[in-house]
Chains A and B, each alone.
Chain A
Amino acid sequence: MQNPIPVSQNPSVVLIPFFEGKVRAGQSRFASAAQDYEMKELDLNQLLITDPPATFIIRVATDCDSMIDVGIYPGAKLIVNRALGSKAKSSNIVIAVVDGEFVVKRLYKRFKIVRLLSENKAKAYPPIEFKDGEELMIWGVVQHVITSFT
């Protein structure tokens, strides 16, 4: 009879989560309930970066006030997913390339109309319009903005 062949020649290691509670001899064996939570910490990456290899962080220029109505202030840091750039939808906040420069704008797409809109009512920057045949390169979609107040 043939010897059984293992299912996997190269089994992966299975990591088993553990809790770092200490059990001391001679003391109560009941660990504090708080110990169950010791290993859990909030990880900002988990919240902000859903697709790590495609995520880039970009800084808003200190003299750029065209998007302040949506909370994108000068000097803010933007968390941008580049992979979403090719499938950007109307109303997404995008990083686009206009005349070789990076701009952050709201994308507006309807029928054949493609525009990049600013979000600053006070200054009313005119929309950037793309006519038929003009190519608009969307570099990425802004997913989050980080503004520091201190």
Chain B
Amino acid sequence: MLLLPSLSTVFRRVFALADVNSMYASCEEAFRPDIKGKPVVVLSNNDGCVIAQNKLAKEVLEIYMAKPFFEIREAAEKLGTVVFSSNYELYANMSNRFATILSKYSPRIEKYSIDETFLEMTGMSVDYSDYGHTMKLDVLNSIGLPICVGFGYSKTLAKLANHCAKKQPRWNGVCDLTSVSDTELDTIMQELPVSKIWGIGSRMEKRLNAVGIYDVLRLKRANPKRIRDHFGVLVERIVKELNGEVWLDMEDMLPEAKQVMSSRSFGERVSTMDKMKEAISYHASMAAERMRKKNLYANGVYVFMMNSPHDQAVFCSSSLSVGLPAPTNSTLKINEMSQAILKRIFQPGVYYQKAGVMLLDTVPAGGRQTDMFGYTERDEKSESLMSVMDKINNKYSRGTIWLASEGVDETKDWTMQRNFKSPNYTGDWGELLEVR
């Protein structure tokens, strides 16, 4: 009898993380060669504050991120800054193209956020650095977006490699940590503060600093057991991942990020609208609940669904994101928006393998602005309803109370102030790029 050992016993696991540099600004630049070399900023909904900027804007405007737009407007205009309202439709379309291109390079990819995708590289006999440069060039040539790629023996290491690729010019955008010597790896890690590690937030950074752990190498060499006793099992796993042990598989992710995502592969393929509605409704509630726990509010909603690149059928991945009229973490509003998006992107005849809801550009409670229609009162009511809902769901099992998300209206035409919005080049026949 032929015995085949499983993949991971033969090959050491290798992960790649590909990430678009300044995603929102790069999407705008991809269609505007005339603004090359200028600082670019992208505003939140209702043109409230800066939520994204390109490298140049970062340099010349210093730290304008999250500042109200009216405060920086004059200074920005003086410097010739090009300003855009957020065009979520465009960003989602480009994100989808990005992931589709990457699916050529690995049979197993996982969209982690609107601008980041993990690829499983295990068992591929390629020079990772060359392969990464090929991906980078392909994405740049195909859709005009600049990306960075990092390779490592765990997702945490791939993410760290990606950080090096992006911030350290010597890598030229592709960093393969599996090919460097142990001493070189130690040197790299020694230069990076622990805050650069995936999943280490500012609070955890302070706690680690308090016991003398400042750089990545120090954490890597820490005793996992003692780390667990002091900082919990998540940080223990990070230590193991830094040592090249795989604790986060594809699909596993850390509860972190400026985007909050809820997604899962289906046990059984989903091909009907009704089933998909349920799945999206579930993910919308999960994501909203997570936001409320962290006291965060979302500015945009992103919904995606895909079949598997393994399928004999054509790889089919569709997604769309829209901005919300005012930042919210209400399950009702997030679900309403998600269902509206679902209606627009669902394709009959596709056997979907995975779907999810992602909340974009989250802001803390203090940083949100209400929209001009006096959303506030309704929001407060909705907030108290949500907190009751969370309490009941926490006390009893999850899902004791849920939304009856049937009979959702047609896509609501959200009226939003978006004075600097670029055309929806990829999603509206009336707004195509023009040539003469």
Contacts A12-B310, A15-B313 hold; do A56 and B6 have CB atoms under 8 A apart? no
Interface contact A7-B4, CB-CB below 8 Å: yes
| CB < 8 Å neighbour of A9 from B6, B34, B141, B436 | B6
B2, B142, B433: residue with the most chain A Cβ atoms closer than 10 Å: B142
Q: Does B143 contact A (CB under 8 A)?
A: yes
Interface contact B436-A58, CB-CB below 8 Å: no
Contacts A5-B3, A64-B436 hold; do A54 and B142 have CB atoms under 8 A apart? yes
Q: Closest A-chain residue to B33, C-beta based?
A: A97
Q: Per-position contact with A for B419-436: 1 when CB-CB < 8 Å, else 0?
A: 000000110000011111
Q: Which of A47-62 touch B at CB < 8 Å? A: 51-54, 56-61
> Within the assembled complex, what's the spacing in Å between the Cα atoms of A136 and B435?
16
Q: Per-position contact with A for B1-25: 1 when CB-CB < 8 Å, else 0?
A: 1111111000000000000000000
> Within the assembled complex, what's the spacing in Å between the Cα atoms of A45 and B6?
39
Contacts A52-B100, A137-B33 hold; do A15 and B311 have CB atoms under 8 A apart? yes
Q: Chain B residues near A33 (CB, 8 Å)?
A: none
Q: Tell me how far the C-beta of B159 lies from the nearest C-beta in chain A, rounded to whole angstroms.
A: 23
Q: Tell me how far the C-beta of B118 lies from the nearest C-beta in chain A, rounded to whole angstroms.
A: 16
Q: Tell me how far the C-beta of A81 lies from the nearest C-beta in chain B, rounded to whole angstroms.
A: 9
Interface contact A53-B435, CB-CB below 8 Å: no
> Within the assembled complex, what's the spacing in Å between the Cα atoms of A23 and B304?
38
Interface contact B436-A60, CB-CB below 8 Å: yes
Interface contact B100-A13, CB-CB below 8 Å: no
5 nearest A-B pairs in the assembled complex, by CB-CB distance: A100-B34, A12-B310, A54-B142, A53-B97, A61-B436
Q: Does B257 contact A (CB under 8 A)?
A: no
Interface contact B436-A51, CB-CB below 8 Å: no
> Within the assembled complex, what's the spacing in Å between the Cα atoms of A58 and B5?
51
Interface contact A13-B269, CB-CB below 8 Å: yes
- Cross-chain pair count, CB within 8 angstroms: 96
Question: Which residues in A have some Cβ–Cβ distance to B below 8 Å?
Answer: 2, 4-7, 9-10, 12-15, 51-54, 56-61, 63-64, 66, 77-78, 82-83, 85-86, 95, 97, 100-104, 137, 139
Interface contact B312-A54, CB-CB below 8 Å: no
Q: Does B245 contact A (CB under 8 A)?
A: no
Interface contact B141-A85, CB-CB below 8 Å: yes
| CB < 8 Å neighbour of A53 from B5, B101, B432 | B101
Q: Which of B26-63 touch A at CB < 8 Å? A: 33-36
Q: Chain B residues near A60 (CB, 8 Å)?
A: 434-436
> Within the assembled complex, what's the spacing in Å between the Cα atoms of A95 and B144?
14
Q: Does B390 contact A (CB under 8 A)?
A: no
Interface contact B432-A58, CB-CB below 8 Å: yes
A-B contact pairs, 6 of them (CB 8 A): A4-B4, A13-B353, A85-B141, A102-B33, A104-B435, A137-B33
Q: Chain A residues near B96 (CB, 8 Å)?
A: 53
Q: Closest A-chain residue to B96, C-beta based?
A: A53
B1, B2, B144: residue with the most chain A Cβ atoms closer than 10 Å: B144
Q: Per-position contact with A for B302-323: 1 when CB-CB < 8 Å, else 0?
A: 0000001011110000000000
Q: Does B278 contact A (CB under 8 A)?
A: no
